[in-house]
Amino acid sequence: MPVRARGLTVEGADGRRYLDCRSGAGVLGHNHPVVLEAIRKALGSGAPPHTPGLATPVKDAFVAELLRTLPPGLAGHARVRLCGPAGTDAVAAALTLARTATGRTGALAFSDAHHATAAGICGESPYPYGYRCPYGVDGERGAELAARWVESVLDGAQPGVTRPGCVILDAVQGEGGVVPVPDDWLRRVRQATADRGVLLIADEIRTGVGRTGAFWAVEHSGVTPDVMVLSQAVGGSLALAVVVHRGDLAGAPDAHASAFPGNQLAMAAGTATLAHVREHRLADHAAGLGARMLRQLRALAGEFPYVGEVRGRGLVIGVDMAAAGSDATVARHAGSGEGVRAPYGGGFDVAAVGGGGRASCADAFGLAAAGGGAQAPYLDAFDIAVACGGAHAPYVDAAGEGARAPYPEASGIAAAVQRACLERGLIVGRHGSVVRLLPPLTITDDQATAILDRFADATATVTRGPVLEVTRDPATAVTRDPTARAPTTGAPAARPSALAEHRTRCRTNPPPPRATPPT
């Protein structure tokens, strides 16, 4: 039970201290002095704490500071609407705006889009998730298919799907397992929406205010959305939700009503946070330190069984645990002629079978491989050529080699790692099989090293002993030998004493000196 906190550190009722890597709502960490001073000043001013629909000095200061930080293509003609107090309120207000501006009621969201789903959108469109791509291919090809799917929906080409008035997406999907979208994919979606008069809504609720290494996550791709929905960090860790949109979009300001729009204390804290992150270039600090943490975690991943992939952007980091030795393992025998089902864990259940088998596929693209070793003259509407000849065509690259296929999720292992981290004084988040690290932007190099050491120790302990592996159904949990390794993305062979070697690397190859951010 936490009783005190400052920066990265949380103190429990028992006196133990923990390093908090779940501080996504507060990019400056707990009880930052700049934020506390802003709240005290607002409390002592005698101004009314709640003034819905009225302009106040606190509100004016917040809006002015927010406009300073927006992407250049939006800052010059943006309007700001205060909603509140939750991020889902901002999403609902943005959808109301989109319906009014376009005259269309539909909205396109993506699988595992947390805030869009919570606001009532059925998020079942495929996301460009390379490690568990629903199309059975990853990299540029997987992103290409995901972009074509979006274009087909926007054109009304999918049966039973009406043309949407807006597309809402996360540049880095948090609840879906820390999945950064490819920049080219995001640029293509932006072009597709602009060409068809569809609004692009960027969900920056979890990723905004410098966390990804840019002030807003969409800036990595150079994209300017029509609408941005903001919450969490924008309120300086207090409850505040905001919609920012192009000034030319039609829509009555009060079309989406809320009882608590723009709490004065939250706006004061938000103004202080936005200014501090901007003035002290904490987004740049997050980019540099996050790159170092990702680099070292990927090196450690090669030494740990069950660690499938490390991914992220800035200080949004996810470690994906993958089940090894499972019966559901995807076979990677190019030209072997073996008929093996490929359960990718995505929404489409893509299957490709060669050597006399038949291909089954539940997705709308009709991805299929002909059986019997025959050449499959199959070019669907998305120009997906599937040649078989005994190989698993969708999983075979141009050189005829088996493409990397991920193992099933290992949610039980991720939960065990989360518990082991807590025992070592490290608080981390988790979504399914992904362990999430979201430290505050103010952490130092030494604090980052302490986080990595504790995480490495916890992961080594869990993955090198008998563990209860839960993939999809907890009822089918089995104990597996952790020495049967999961595939990793280009990782070296496993070596003993991972934690000791990690510490040795930190001592012999220290990171370059960086300016310590102000606390």
Q: Is 436 helix (H, G, I), strand (E, B) or coil?
A: strand
* Of the candidate ranges 243-257, 308-322, 483-497, the one whose mean pLDDT is the lowest: 483-497
| Topology, domain 33-132+161-279 | Aspartate Aminotransferase; domain 2 (3.40.640)
Q: What is the mean pLDDT of the chain?
A: 75
Give the pLDDT of residue 105: 86
Residues 6+ apart with CB under 8 A from 456: 300, 498, 499, 502
Residues of the chain within CATH 3.90.1150.10 domain(s) are: 282-326+407-508
* CA–CA gap between residue 402 and residue 62 (Å, rounded): 54
pLDDT at 222 over 50: yes
Largest CA distance in the chain: 80
| Predicted confidence band of residue 55 (pLDDT cuts 50, 70, 90) | confident
Fold of 282-326+407-508: Aspartate Aminotransferase, domain 1 (3.90.1150)
DSSP strand pairing (107-108 vs 179-180): unpaired
Residues of the chain with pLDDT > 70, as a percent, come to 65
**How many CB atoms neighbour CB 509 within 10 A?**
8
What region does 284 belong to: left with phi over 0, alpha with psi -120 to 50, or beta? Answer: alpha
DSSP for residue 495: -
Which residue matches tokens 């607002």? 42
Instruction: Give the rounded distance of the alpha carbon of 463 from its chain centre.
Output: 24
pLDDT digits (tens, 9 = 90+) for 255-285: 555 666 778 999 999 999 999 999 999 999 9
Q: Is 202 left (phi over 0), alpha (psi -120 to 50) or beta?
A: beta
Region at 325 (left for phi over 0; alpha for psi -120 to 50; beta for the rest): left
Q: Which DSSP helix (H) or strand (E) runs through 376?
A: none
Pull the structure tokens for residue 450.
Answer: 């302490």
Instruction: Report CA dihedral (42, 44, 49, 51) to the nearest 10 degrees.
Output: -80
pLDDT tens, position by position, 56-111: 999 999 999 999 999 999 988 999 999 878 888 899 999 999 999 999 988 888 87
